[in-house]
Amino acid sequence: MTVAPPISALQRVVDVTLAEDLGAVGDITTDAVVRPATPIAAEIRSRGTGRIAGVDVIALALARFPEPATTRLLVTDGSDVAAGNVIARLSGSARTVLAAERTILNILGRLSGIATATASIVRCVAGTGAIVKDTRKTTPGLRALERYAVAAGGGVNHRSGLYDAVLIKDNHIVLAGSIITAVERARLRLPPASPLQVEVETLDELEEALRCNVSAVLLDNMSVDDLRLGVAMVDGRCHTEASGGITPTNVREIAATGVNAVSLGWLTHSARVLDLGLDLQR
């Protein structure tokens, strides 16, 4: 189920994006060519096949201008569209629609591209039992929105940041001296029975982590054979997640090893923008 859109985060991004586009003087071309209060009717269409996320950006962007314009949504977030499908119809001030156009298409296209990429991975691993998770490899300032887009694509959000979940990674282990020491130190700071995940790169490290009774292990950059062996070693004692170097070409094979989850930075750092366009209705 798709989570509710983060409207406050979306509004902040709309404001920043409009400021980039309009500068201190606004849309000088439209203001010169189009008379005030000129009415317009337009449609936002998908030029490719994909999953939609971020439709609330349309109304939010239009509302930032003095001349009124409104939108009627034909699809909701989480909907699949084909090339040529109409996503929304816009009407009202031509000046407002044209000034907001690129902000709307940039944000909606970016989030829909992530949702589309996620949906493709979810379909790819269907039947393996593995869920698809995102990572913290997000565009600076856009994490809340990109995580929402992953959810719209059928994925599962990992931790929001460094503040809301404990994940002991390789550098923590090096600085602590061992997995056991790192886990012991973390537990001194955590409430009893708090979830604790450890990243491991070898089966020996996995064995050490299992001796600590952790709640989850992140099997990082392991071969498919080692992933199978690792899942057998865990034997259901904790959550298993494969990560590192996972792409559309190898995700099915990795998910089929029996891990509970696969996490892909690819969902957010390499997803292609969904091609969208705004067309005037004559």
Catalytic residues: 102, 137, 169, 199, 220
Tell me the C-alpha distance between 200 and 198, whole Å.
6
> CB pairs under 8 A, 24+ apart, for 207-210?
207/233, 208/178, 208/179, 208/180, 209/179, 209/183, 210/234, 210/237, 210/238
What is the number of alpha carbons within 13 Å of residue 135 lying toward its C-beta?
A: 19
276 neighbors 112 (Cβ within 8 angstroms): yes
50-64 as b/e, with b when 16 or more CB fall inside 10 Å?
Answer: bbbbbbbbbbbbbeb
Nearest to 60 by CA among 9, 114, 127, 24: 9
Q: How many CB atoms lie within 10 A of CB 45?
A: 18
Tell me the C-alpha distance between 54 and 274, whole Å.
12
